[in-house]
Amino acid sequence: MELRFKLLATNLVIMAFMALVLLFFVRTVFPRSILSDLQSRWIHATKDAAEEAVGPLLEKDELALRIFVFLRMDDMEDAEYIFVADPDGHILMHTFPTGFPSGFRNVMAPSRETVTRREILFGDKSMFDIAAPVLRGDLGSVHIGFSAEPVMRETRRITRLIVLTVLGALALQVLFMIVLDAVIIRPIAQLKRLAVQVRRIGQGKQGEAVSVTSRDEVGELALAYNAMREDLVVYQRRLRQLATQLSLAEERERRLIASQVHDHIGQTMALAKIKLRALQEKAAGETFRKDIDALYGIVETVVRDTRALIFELSPPILYQLGLVAALEWLCDRMTKTHGLPIDFTDDAEPKRLPEDVSVFCFQVGRELLTNVVKHARATRAVLSLRREGNRLVMTVEDNGTGTDVSWSRRPAEETGGFGLFSIRERLAAYGGTVAIGAQPGVGARVSVAIPLEIEGGLSPATQGGDERARRGDGAPAKDKRDNAGECDW
């Protein structure tokens, strides 16, 4: 749940709880307290009335008694009736307009010493009959009926007032939360989004731009982040372009060095072999022949080492027959070198790639197979090429432990190779992706996907390989590949 909803819910729950507590107080404690105060006042008023009735009762002045009763009735707003009874219970005066109710006879036995209070039902009203003796009951008693309806009416009025106040407070709270959300909470959420994107950038991922929702410090921070992100994207793009240019320059230099070694050192060593072979045929003495044979063996070793160096620097087969043939040759060579069976599969679909991308894919394939040999503890591996729509997918699978893919998180300087970080960055420059999966005891799988050339003709780097795929005749192409794998010396 977002912070603004948590704050709003918390405030609403607190206010609702306070309203319930207040309503409980008003409906229970408040009426009792008010009613207790009213009863004290009613008893005091009844006592005063009993004292004032002494004169008319002693004089037996009916007119004075009537005036006294009705004046008292007018003075007390909450009095419903007043009547005066003699010691024998006869009604001397009352204020009932239709006559004295016969049902009131049961309330006419007050104490002769103290004021009595009885709760009765008068019609549909709950009444309190307060009776005070006149001269300790010798002259009779004064009864005044007070209604609790004003108290209940006031209680209902206060309850409605509280409900309206709570509703108004809730409305103000919602309005306050809207303002708080716009002023404080949204900037806080903006900071959270900024923190997430900064964390993504710190992990080497592509951060996303954030919207600027305010012009305060948080808005300025969002603007600064967006500007930094744009600069970082441009910087990353330039770095990738630079890395691509450096890799291409390195590959050109390696190819140039391999060509120089082949054209000069290789040709010279080939000529030396021819000369030594001629000397072997002309050698007269046995000792001299042995020396020539030993020297010929040394030259032949240098020739093999030079040939291996040329293929390590820049395999000619990659430029002569294309990526498919070069990767197949790589699998055969690594099988012979390391003793790990590495199968190669290809879907025979045409794959148009520029020369630099072909070189990059060959480097990636060599790096992935080298990592399998070093880390996977596998007994078999497979390198496969296939076309999926407009993408070339190269997959390397092994049946190793499936748990040690930590090499994929190491930089190139630690692994001593191309490095997955470099692979990811170069792939990003070409619009490609890499996916790594591993299951304990089953093995690991690394897939590299890169866009193919859709328009235009075949690239020089893949022309020979695609020609081989179109023919579907493996034997002649394999002979060409084997010939390309051999130097003419």
The per-residue pLDDT for 12 is 74
What is the domain range of residue 413? 316-484
The per-residue pLDDT for 185 is 65
Instruction: Give the range with max mean pLDDT: 90-99, 171-180, 211-220.
Output: 90-99
The per-residue pLDDT for 473 is 37
Question: Does residue 148 sit within a domain?
Answer: yes
Q: Which amino acid is at 373?
A: V
The per-residue pLDDT for 387 is 92
* 65, two tokens: 């008694």
The per-residue pLDDT for 385 is 94
The per-residue pLDDT for 204 is 63
11 vs 470, which has greater pLDDT? 11
Cα–Cα distance, 463 to 460 (Å, whole number):
5
Question: Does residue 62 sit within a domain?
Answer: yes
Looking at the DSSP assignment, which residues form a beta bridge with residue 79?
A: 146
Provide the domain count of the chain. Answer: 2
How many other CB atoms are found less than 10 A from the CB of residue 488?
8
Phi, psi of 43 (to 5 degrees): -65, -45
Average pLDDT over all residues of the chain: 76
Question: Does residue 234 sit within a domain?
Answer: no
Least confident of 93-102, 304-313, 336-345, 403-412: 403-412
245: pLDDT strictly greater than 70? yes
266 vs 226, which has greater pLDDT? 226
20: pLDDT strictly greater than 60? yes
Domain of residue 11, CATH code: 3.30.450.20
pLDDT in tens, 22-54: 777 666 766 677 778 888 888 999 999 999 999
The per-residue pLDDT for 415 is 43
88: pLDDT strictly greater than 70? yes
Least confident of 40-44, 258-262, 444-448: 258-262
Question: Does residue 362 sit within a domain?
Answer: yes
Examine the fold and report which residue of 116, 133, 155 is the final residue of a domain before the chain moves on: 155
109: pLDDT strictly greater than 70? no
DSSP string covering 162-184: HHHHHHHHHHHHHHHHHHHIIII
Question: Does residue 38 sit within a domain?
Answer: yes
CA quadruple 356, 362, 368, 371: dihedral, nearest 10: -110
Place 417 in a pLDDT band, splitting at 50, 70 and 90. very low
Phi, psi of 467 (to 5 degrees): -65, -40
pLDDT in tens, 358-405: 888 988 898 899 888 888 888 899 999 999 988 999 999 998 876 555
Least confident of 183-197, 311-325, 327-341: 183-197
CA quadruple 369, 374, 375, 379: dihedral, nearest 10: 70
The per-residue pLDDT for 335 is 92
Least confident of 79-88, 128-137, 469-478: 469-478
The per-residue pLDDT for 461 is 34
Question: Does residue 7 sit within a domain?
Answer: yes
The per-residue pLDDT for 463 is 38
DSSP string covering 227-259: HHHHHHHHHHHHHHHHHHHHHHHHHHHHHHHHH
Examine the fold and report which residue of 96, 122, 155 is the final residue of a domain before the chain moves on: 155
Question: Does residue 102 sit within a domain?
Answer: yes
Domain of residue 353, CATH code: 3.30.565.10
Examine the fold and report which residue of 139, 155, 171 is the final residue of a domain before the chain moves on: 155
344: pLDDT strictly greater than 90? yes
80 vs 481, which has greater pLDDT? 80
222 vs 484, which has greater pLDDT? 222
Mean pLDDT of 245-267: 72
The per-residue pLDDT for 272 is 79
467: pLDDT strictly greater than 50? no
223: pLDDT strictly greater than 70? yes
Cα–Cα distance, 82 to 96 (Å, whole number):
8
410: pLDDT strictly greater than 60? no
Using DSSP's 3-state secondary structure scheme, residue 438 falls into: strand
The per-residue pLDDT for 455 is 40
406: pLDDT strictly greater than 70? no
Question: Does residue 32 sit within a domain?
Answer: yes
SS3 content of the chain, % helix, strand, coil (to 5): 65, 15, 20
Q: Which amino acid is at 303?
A: V
**CB of 469 closer than 8 Å to CB of 292:** no
